[in-house]
Amino acid sequence: MEGISEEIEIHFGKLRAQQSKTEREKRKTGHAAGKIGPLRCCGGVPRASSSLVPSFTWIVLHVALYGSHKGAEDRTTSLNHPCSTEAQIVLNGDPLFVLQTLDFTRMAEIKSASRRWEEMETDVLVKIFKELNMIEMAPVALVCQAWRSACSDALLWNTLDLGLLKSNFIQTRALPYIWVDDRSDRRLMKILRIAMSLSRGTVTCLVFHFNLFMKDEHLSYIVERCNHLRRLVMPAWNRITKNGICQAVRRWQELESLTMPSISNPSYIMEEISRSCKNFCQLKVMGTFDVIFASAIASNLPNLRVLSVRCSILTREALLFVLDCMDHLEVLNISHCLFLDGLAPTGKKKFSREIDGDIWSKAAKLREFLHCQSSSCVACDRINRDEGLMRWYKYEDSFWRQDEVGSLSLGDYGKLFDECCLDFVLRS
């Protein structure tokens, strides 16, 4: 948006340079000064302001382009609002246009053909608001009820990706093996309050960073205001209790997909998912995958269709257990995994990459069996150097978000919580 504002200012400068001195004097005597500046939305009325509010300026420009410009070479559209001046948008076949103030006497002439801001079509507002992050959207939602409703539209909030937000933490030797700075907890709660207030329960996919360690109170706050969750990506559970995660899953009856860490006793969460989430079909485990984990999945989630354990330590027994017992499994991803073959005489773990014939024959029934054990692969090299316990923090931040299964890959960060939001949170 800053780039757009700069481009507009350059265009305005050229237009002013082309005007003769006589014309400029005439404008000063007959009209308002005509100075173009950012607009500020106060009590539902857009007003000129010296404050930098690029979001609203951008909204006005975008409405003109997409809401008013229908291909005419020369067209003028006026937007009425209950204030002493009216913004006129002049389109001259060019995506750059002039915003200039009209004198008060012309308002009566165009009032009948104008539309109020709150009467704009919802789909137009939603298209505009998609370009805002949640911090920019918060004041916009206060303009009027129509804009508040548009700010809560499901198209804006389908996915809330907080993948840029991390905790300030120190690893410890005692449970929960992590200490988190209080400021990190307050920042997370602040963001959750803004997001949950704006979204009004329309979030269906929620993504957290693997180094974001929330507590039960954060999780409870989300659950109470986000009942229709279908996908949860939460790789860190250190500070969440067994009771806390079970209560959350109990409320998320529409949950279909979960990305979780490897835990020592997975049976309780698998049992809760089996009881409460009848449409659950996708699971991604980030960490060691052994027979205990495989048994918990096969016993409680026999209808699971997609399983990813990429970049992990696997045991052959666990993999064979899954292939033997899960008849409905369609997609299995073991890319960049190491097979644990026991301990060497020195006590060091022995790993291998070879997939034996028994695994190949059983995996043949799957629709997709994704694997990569190549020494030339970057991810395989990293898991090998990290001895099976991938140290995600050492690598680019997008690395942990990847997955060979398209429905489990996170792709780029969303617009709702971008770098600007992160800077705002860190400064506050």
pLDDT at 341: 81
Q: pLDDT band for position 16 (50/70/90)?
A: low
Residues in Cβ contact with 284 at an 8 Å cutoff, skipping those fewer than 6 apart: 257, 258, 259, 260, 307, 308, 309, 310, 403, 405, 408
147 occurs within a structural domain: yes
What are the two backbone dihedrals, phi and then psi, of residue 178, each rounded to the nearest 5 degrees?
Answer: -155, 140
Half-sphere exposure at residue 151, Cβ-oriented, CA atoms within 13 angstroms: 23
Which domain-ending residue is among 138, 156, 174? Answer: 156
Which residues, listed in sequence order, are joined to residue 162 by a DSSP beta bridge? 208
Question: Which carries the bigger pLDDT value, residue 348 or residue 200?
Answer: 200
44 occurs within a structural domain: no
Range from 55-59, 118-122, 165-169, 326-330 carrying the lowest mean pLDDT:
55-59
Check which CATH number belongs to the domain holding 152 and give it. Answer: 1.20.1280
Mind listing the pLDDT tens digit for each residue in 66-117? 443 333 333 333 333 433 333 333 333 343 333 343 344 454 455 545 566 6
Let me know: does 194 contact 220? Beta carbons within 8 Å: no
What does the radius of gyration of the chain's CA atoms come to, in whole angstroms?
28
Question: Looking at the structure, do residues 247 and 308 belong to the same domain, yes or no?
Answer: yes
Give the pTM.
Answer: 0.73
Q: What 3-state DSSP class applies to 355? A: coil
Question: Looking at the structure, do residues 131 and 254 belong to the same domain, yes or no?
Answer: no
Q: What share of the chain is helix, strand, coil (3-state, %, to 5)?
A: 40, 15, 40
Q: Per mean pLDDT, which of 20-34, 167-181, 319-333 is the most reliable?
A: 319-333
131 occurs within a structural domain: yes
Residues in Cβ contact with 185 at an 8 Å cutoff, skipping those fewer than 6 apart: 167, 214, 215, 218
How far, in Å, CA of 363 to CA of 319, rounded?
10
pLDDT at 242: 93
Question: Looking at the structure, do residues 320 and 195 belong to the same domain, yes or no?
Answer: yes
Strand ranges (E), 49-112:
75-79, 87-91, 98-101
Q: What 3-state DSSP class applies to 258? A: strand
pLDDT at 344: 67
Which domain-ending residue is among 133, 156, 179? Answer: 156
Mind listing the pLDDT tens digit for each residue in 269-312? 999 999 999 999 999 999 999 999 999 999 999 999 999 999 99
Question: Looking at the structure, do residues 148 and 254 belong to the same domain, yes or no?
Answer: no
Question: Looking at the structure, do residues 275 and 145 belong to the same domain, yes or no?
Answer: no
Question: Looking at the structure, do residues 240 and 274 belong to the same domain, yes or no?
Answer: yes
Question: Which carries the bigger pLDDT value, residue 107 or residue 221?
Answer: 221
7 occurs within a structural domain: no
| Domain residue limits at 134 | 118-156
Question: Looking at the structure, do residues 146 and 182 belong to the same domain, yes or no?
Answer: no
Check which CATH number belongs to the domain holding 242 and give it. Answer: 3.80.10.10
309 occurs within a structural domain: yes
Question: Looking at the structure, do residues 326 and 215 belong to the same domain, yes or no?
Answer: yes
How far, in Å, CA of 265 to CA of 272, rounded?
13
Question: Looking at the structure, do residues 141 and 230 belong to the same domain, yes or no?
Answer: no
How far does Cα 4 stand from its chain's mean position?
Answer: 24
pLDDT at 266: 94
The tally of domains found in the chain comes to: 2
Residue corresponding to tokens 């840029």: 164
- What's the whole-number mean pLDDT along residues 30-58? 40
Which domain-ending residue is among 156, 177, 202? Answer: 156
DSSP class of residue 224? H
Let me know: does 371 contact 355? Beta carbons within 8 Å: yes
Share of the chain above pLDDT 90, in %: 53
Mind listing the pLDDT tens digit for each residue in 243-272? 999 999 999 999 999 999 999 899 999 999
Question: Looking at the structure, do residues 152 and 299 belong to the same domain, yes or no?
Answer: no
Question: Looking at the structure, do residues 190 and 302 belong to the same domain, yes or no?
Answer: yes
340 occurs within a structural domain: yes
Its sign, for the CA torsion 248, 252, 253, 259, is negative
- What's the whole-number mean pLDDT along residues 160-169? 93
Mind listing the pLDDT tens digit for each residue in 380-427? 999 988 988 889 889 998 899 999 999 999 988 888 998 888 888 888
Closest of 163, 168, 162 to residue 192, by C-alpha = 162
Q: How far is CA 6 from CA 10, 93, 120, 346, in A?
A: 6, 20, 27, 65
For the CA atoms of 49, 55, 44, 40, the dihedral, rounded to the nearest 10 degrees, stands at 0
66 occurs within a structural domain: no
How far, in Å, CA of 217 to CA of 350, rounded?
41
360 occurs within a structural domain: yes
Question: Looking at the structure, do residues 316 and 355 belong to the same domain, yes or no?
Answer: yes
pLDDT exceeds cutoff 80 at 207: yes
Residues 7-13: contacts with CB within 8 Å, 24+ apart? 7/96, 8/36, 8/61, 8/96, 9/36, 11/96, 12/36, 12/98
